[in-house]
Chains A and B, each alone.
Chain A
């Protein structure tokens, strides 16, 4: 080591040497400075009026962290939402695509290091909200500070009050609603299966052409829960103890079903696609006959982008499919809380919710209460044309089943993996 070093130093001129050493020292200093952190002044938001918050937020930068696995959503965030924020409030919205588990790890790390936060708002729900809230990673309650939440959202709605059975208590604001659907090509499958038994016979008739992303993949995990609901009903899970043995017993018939289905799956169930994106590719390539989405309008967007065949259509089970809400939270260490509140408030406006509902943008169901909307706002939603292959909102809402409580989700995933993989 020292020989290499000496040789390198001999070759360098003394100016370069000084520069190099200077740079190393400077970098060290920066690192230590970054580690030292800064004390931030916290504004007392509760006592501020909305006008004061708007004023404080003007010209600031807000960093929004969330799942970036769908390019259409990324484009909508970077496009429509960011432009609105810039035009209306002079706020620079930076959309940072990152998986929620990484975001929470990051927050936990920042908490341990008592470091200044990097995320001002995060896209979150379900078991991750449970983890975040029970580990004090969220700021709140904040929803009642938002004028649009008070004006347009029904705060008594179960889907606003609870997130996967866990009380939200104002620590996250509703962002959108989704519902699980399965997608088939009508030309190939004129009568798509609408219950678990029909699905099994369909798989038997077309061996190797059905599959799903293996849990703990988000969408694969919902599919498994939906099958469980179809077999053993959903009511018993709503107040079930998060005890592995209790859950195991309750879902045993469904695990038997999956074992029976396994040999007829793609690659005989020996392997599953690792991500939903891979399953979508396989469907687009005609390698499998079904694809699924925890987004009831995904199909129209995929049809209009040319990825899926035009004859693709969404299907739900006769007993219904799982639906859930997704939310926005503010990290405990958000550096720009006022800015985050302004952005969240804007996201709860009829314009943004309608733009989000438009399948050309995203196709995500709105969270605003129809009864609370003004006539002219209601019209904005009515003008949104649903795309091809998608089910209308009322059909979905009538056949909507609640999610299991958050702590059950990883337990069910675990039991599925033990039964089907090991």
Chain B
């Protein structure tokens, strides 16, 4: 009895030091942000708690176009990354050989910082970039200005390219490990019963890897939705992504603008929390559904 009790508390005791810091930093940061978004910031002489900042943020013209831009760009880039990442993982797992070199190469973008990724995409795809120059050299386009505007474009193609380049290997890495751990017996049994490659993918691999695909999807989406450097460097001036708008307000030398930045951050955080909740909900339904069958 005592033994059982001890082992069940033990992990919590071990984790206590780390968790106390994590929770402390997290709740403190979030709490301060909420207070500042409501206009309470004694450090710069704001004391009145009000919803005015939210109201003004919601009424400003740039806010909704920025929000929609951020949602759209993150959604498109994450979907593309997921499709390519899962397909690659499936293709590689079906091979007899391991292709370690190829795997290592695929993992490379994960360790490259986002800033560097933005630079790479810029050097390759801008109108004075390497691909445009190559096009001129080969006579495909007349002037480098004829190259389509992929960077700083209002569709956010440059941002999407950067996020896909960073995100695909991440999804690949996770899903590949999951797919590899699936018993080969199951695949062989299915094949014996006449399943084709696509059947194996859709009826064995996909259902078994779906939870991890979905969770990595949420991680990637939330990251690209909330991060500012890539949309700042590769995005258009209008619409500006929501994190960029928040950053600009935050860096305004007039500190009484700080609550606007925090109100936008709260919107970003709120949507991310909703996503995590959605994830749990879908995941529960999914497990329930599978058990029910």
Contacts and interface: CB of A to CB of B under 8 A. Distances in A.
Contacts of B236: 270-271
B81 to A, nearest CB: 24
Given A131-B253, A410-B253, A422 B154 contact: no
B37 to A, nearest CB: 16
Contacts of B240: 421
Contact of A409 (B62, B248, B253, B255): B253
Given A25-B17, A287-B145, A216 B43 contact: no
Interface of A: 1-2, 5-6, 9, 21, 24-25, 27-28, 31, 99, 101-102, 104-105, 108, 111-112, 126-128, 130-131, 135, 208, 214, 216, 267, 270-275, 281-282, 285-287, 406-407, 409-410, 417-418, 421-422
Per DSSP, chain A at the interface is helix
Contacts of A418: 61
Given A25-B17, A111-B43, A287 B237 contact: no
B136 to A, nearest CB: 12
A163 B152 CA distance: 35
Given A24-B18, A271-B238, A274-B232, A410 B128 contact: no
Interface in B1-46: 7-8, 11, 14-15, 17-18, 20-21, 43-44
Contact of A21 (B14, B149, B238): B14
A214 B149 CA distance: 18
B238 A27 contact: no
Contacts of A31: 21
Among B11, B18, B232, residue most surrounded by chain A Cβ atoms (within 10 Å): B11
B252 interface: yes
B43 A27 contact: no
Interface string B236-261: 11101000000010111111010000
A135 B128 contact: no
A304 B279 CA distance: 57
Interface of B: 7-8, 11, 14-15, 17-18, 20-21, 43-44, 60-62, 127-128, 144-145, 149, 152-154, 232-233, 235-238, 240, 248, 250-255, 257
A271 B154 contact: yes
6 closest A-B pairs (Cβ-Cβ)? Answer: A285-B128, A127-B253, A101-B251, A422-B61, A271-B236, A28-B17
A272 B154 CA distance: 11
19 contacts: A24-B17, A99-B251, A101-B250, A102-B251, A108-B44, A135-B44, A214-B237, A271-B153, A274-B233, A282-B128, A285-B144, A286-B128, A287-B145, A406-B253, A407-B254, A409-B253, A410-B252, A410-B257, A421-B240
A182 to B, nearest CB: 20
Given A6-B7, A421-B62, 14 more contacts: A5-B11, A28-B17, A101-B250, A126-B253, A127-B254, A131-B253, A208-B145, A267-B149, A272-B237, A274-B152, A274-B237, A287-B145, A409-B253, A417-B62
Contacts of A271: 152-154, 236-238
Given A208-B145, A285-B128, A410 B11 contact: no
Contact of B255 (A111, A135, A406): A135
A21 B60 CA distance: 51
Contact of B253 (A9, A101, A112, A417): A101
Given A24-B18, A287-B128, A422 B238 contact: yes
B293 to A, nearest CB: 26
Contacts of B149: 267
Contacts of A128: 253
B60 to A, nearest CB: 8
A229 to B, nearest CB: 20
A287 B253 contact: no
Nearest to B144: A287
A1 B17 contact: no
Contacts of B253: 101, 104, 126-128, 130-131, 406, 409-410
A27 B17 contact: yes
Given A31-B21, A112-B43, A286-B128, A131 B62 contact: no
A267 B152 contact: yes
Contacts of B144: 285, 287
B11 A2 contact: yes
Contacts of A406: 253
A421 B127 CA distance: 22
A131 B255 contact: yes
A291 to B, nearest CB: 13
A401 B270 CA distance: 47
A20 B233 CA distance: 41
Contacts of A112: 43
Contact of A216 (B60, B238, B248): B248
B11 A1 contact: yes
A407 to B, nearest CB: 7
Among A24, A274, A281, A422, residue most surrounded by chain B Cβ atoms (within 10 Å): A274
Contacts of B18: 24, 28
Nearest to B63: A422
A270 to B, nearest CB: 6
A418 B60 CA distance: 9
A1 B10 CA distance: 12
A111 B42 CA distance: 12
Contacts of A417: 62
Given A24-B17, A28-B21, A108-B43, A421 B238 contact: yes
Contacts of A286: 128
A271 B253 CA distance: 24
A102 B250 CA distance: 10
Nearest to A282: B128
Given A25-B17, A28-B21, A270-B236, A6 B43 contact: no
A275 B254 CA distance: 21
Contacts of A108: 43-44, 255
Contacts of B8: 2
Contacts of A131: 253-255
Contacts of A422: 60-62, 238
Contacts of B232: 274
